[in-house]
Amino acid sequence: MTSRIVGTGHCVPETVITNDDLSKIVDTNDEWISSRTGIKSRRIVKEENTSYMAYMAAKQALDNANILPEDIDLIIVATSTPDTIFPNTACCVQGLLNNKKAVCFDLNAACSGFIYALNVAHSHIVAKMAKKALVIGSECMSKVINWKDRGTCVLFGDGAGAVVIEESKEGFIHTVVGSDGSKGEAIICDGHSNSYFEGEKEKKHPFTEMNGQEVFRFAVKKVPESIGQLLEKSNTLIEEIDWYILHQANERIISSVSKRLGVPMEKFPINLEQYGNTSAASVPILLDEMNRNGMLKKGDKIVISGFGAGLTWGTSLLIW
Ligand code: ACO
């Protein structure tokens, strides 16, 4: 017995910010951003927030699965940019869905968060602790970015993606997750207030700071490594995989992974040119777009992979 994805959804903010728009805020240009990252535009919240986008994505996923909100008994939201420390985002989604029976919590593993959350929800289902789960990645990265720092502000965007999973004979086959806390400084954001007793301590990293090249090296090594482990543990050949749906951080990372694995880029769908890096939301947004435009066929073998701050990584193999 395992679990499988039975519905998908996504929500992105209405406001589109192009590379040209950013060149009016910081010293950058479309050529630099496009050639180094593949990103052309991103969606940025104005009226929307993390829990609202999570709710909208969840509603779509439930409709797609033909499941009523009250039938969900577990909601996990992967986010590092919640609207409030408490209540958690998953509880906010539960309230908006008018669901009374779900266990609700958030999970923060940055850009790997969605894969971590799926793995936890899957484990709950296999352990018979839940029957139907909503797993959501939702982020307002625009709120933790220094909009005066051209090195980071051009990379990120806001959005949410959601899936519904339930018990099934076929679906998730295997997952590899890992963390390396010794590399925490590679991507870091403090985001906390001081207590009265601490006095006025200056925040070291009030906004997202990143050692871009270290993150690049980590991603192009760790992602192929974890895919290799996954295939070995599940006795699957690399040619059997129909799609590699990777976290949409940067087109150069994705093409390096494709080269290292010796797999053509056609098997690595990309939508980061429209949305930028939406952290925990990027994999489920892409999954939903592929589901809605008919790219995913029943029986397809799919690898999904996230990697990011922590450092963290997670890669799953599933049958659609
Ligand atoms: N526009 C114009 N010039 C810029 C910009 C910009 N937006 N940003 C930096 N530069 C300049 C720098 O100031 C530097 O100028 P200098 O040579 O005069 O000092 C020059 O461009 C090169 O800067 P680098 O930081 O060395 O550029 P690099 O080639 O490493 O590219 C990038 C930066 C795109 C971030 C790259 O390191 C990368 O892809 N890293 C992966 C990290 C990533 O994708 N992180 C996403 C978040 S984490 C995650 O999701 C896993």
Name the closest-CA residue to atom 8, ligand 1.
151
Segment 225-242 mean pLDDT? 97
Tell me how far the alpha carbon of residue 290 is from its chain's centroid.
15
Residue % of the chain over a pLDDT of 90? 95
197 against 152, higher pLDDT: 152
State residue 58's pLDDT score.
98
Query: Is the CB of residue 150 below 6 angstroms from any atom belonging to ligand 1?
Result: yes
Q: Of residues 11, 92, 104, 111, which has the active-site annotation? A: 111
Segment 59-85 mean pLDDT? 97
Query: Is the CB of residue 111 below 6 angstroms from any atom belonging to ligand 1?
Result: yes
Name the closest-CA residue to atom 34, ligand 1.
36
Distance CA 292, CA 17 (A): 24
Write down all domains in the chain, each with its CATH number in brackets: 2-168 (3.40.47.10), 174-319 (3.40.47.10)
Segment 193-216 mean pLDDT? 85
pLDDT, one tens digit per residue, over 148-158 is 999 999 999 99
Query: Is the CB of residue 28 below 6 angstroms from any atom belonging to ligand 1?
Result: yes
Residue % of the chain over a pLDDT of 70? 100
Segment 111-129 mean pLDDT? 98
Name the closest-CA residue to atom 20, ligand 1.
151
pLDDT, one tens digit per residue, over 244-256 is 999 999 999 999 9
Residue 18 φ/ψ, nearest 5 degrees: -85, 170
Checking if the pLDDT of 308 tops 90, the result is yes
Checking if the pLDDT of 201 tops 80, the result is no
Write down the mean pLDDT value for the chain: 96
Whether the Cβ atoms of residue 110 and residue 312 lie closer than 8 Å to each other: yes
Segment 220-235 mean pLDDT? 96
pLDDT, one tens digit per residue, over 262-305 is 999 999 999 999 999 999 999 999 999 999 999 999 999 999 99
- Residue 162 CA to ligand 1 centre (angstroms): 30
Query: Is the CB of residue 119 below 6 angstroms from any atom belonging to ligand 1?
Result: no
Checking if the pLDDT of 191 tops 90, the result is no
The owner of tokens 């104005």 is: 46
Tell me how far the alpha carbon of residue 40 is from its chain's centroid.
19
State residue 1's pLDDT score.
93
Checking if the pLDDT of 319 tops 80, the result is yes
Give the Cα-Cα-Cα angle 235, 241, 246 (nearest 5 degrees).
Answer: 110
Checking if the pLDDT of 194 tops 80, the result is no
Checking if the pLDDT of 200 tops 80, the result is no
Give the Cα-Cα-Cα angle 167, 168, 169 (nearest 5 degrees).
Answer: 145
Checking if the pLDDT of 206 tops 90, the result is no
